[in-house]
Homo-oligomer: A and B are copies of this chain.
């Protein structure tokens, strides 16, 4: 594709799909590539896995180098190994995903020349992407939809303190579907994994909403075991 392609450093890489939620919208973290192939394109943070590091370590390192984000718990999504996914030959990539609270994470500083900038993009208006990254993002979304059905990963995407409306909007964004306010609240509160705080919203031009916090201990009790059949 381009003259001065770098040598392949290994035949497998790790990619990160980082989701964030802000203003009722799901976003994904993309980087602008500063290196061939796909120089100048947007893509997922991702790079070669070194020979002496585990994949888990690699993906953490790569995310940090590309975006400055640290200590993000990522889960493995899928491994992609199509023959044409990389223009320089078959490169297998292990994709990981994570969900983040988007408060205060607006300015991201890449720590490598391979990346020009890292920017949150709304999921419903993504640019063209390098490699098969569109495909990887698709797969992540469908995994998240399933997962949120039986485990409240949603909390990862919200600030520490959140209102029930924010929580509901998040579910609505992930499922792309309106939910009933009263039923949603009833169900959520019945799980008993939310802790009501004394605090309220401030400076809003309408009745202020109560803040809630997610109770990790209770969560483990409720969702630690499998779904029930009988």
Contacts and interface: CB of A to CB of B under 8 A. Distances in A.
Given A12-B12, A76-B79, A145 B226 contact: yes
Interface stretch (A124-132, A175-183, A201-209): A175-183
Contacts of A12: 11-12, 92
A106 interface: no
A230 interface: yes
Contacts of A83: 52-54
A5 interface: no
- Taking the full assembly, how many copies of this chain does it contain? 2
A56 B90 CA distance: 13
Interface string A24-61: 00000000000000000000000001011111100000
Interface residues of A, number: 36
A94 B150 CA distance: 26
Interface in A174-212: 175, 177, 179-180, 183-184, 187
A79 B79 contact: yes
Given A76-B78, A78-B76, A51 B230 contact: no
Contacts of A54: 81-83
Contacts of A227: 146, 149-150
Contacts of A11: 10-12, 51
A171 interface: yes
Interface of A: 10-12, 49, 51-56, 76, 78-79, 81-83, 89-90, 92, 94, 145-146, 149-150, 171, 175, 177, 179-180, 183-184, 187, 226-227, 229-230
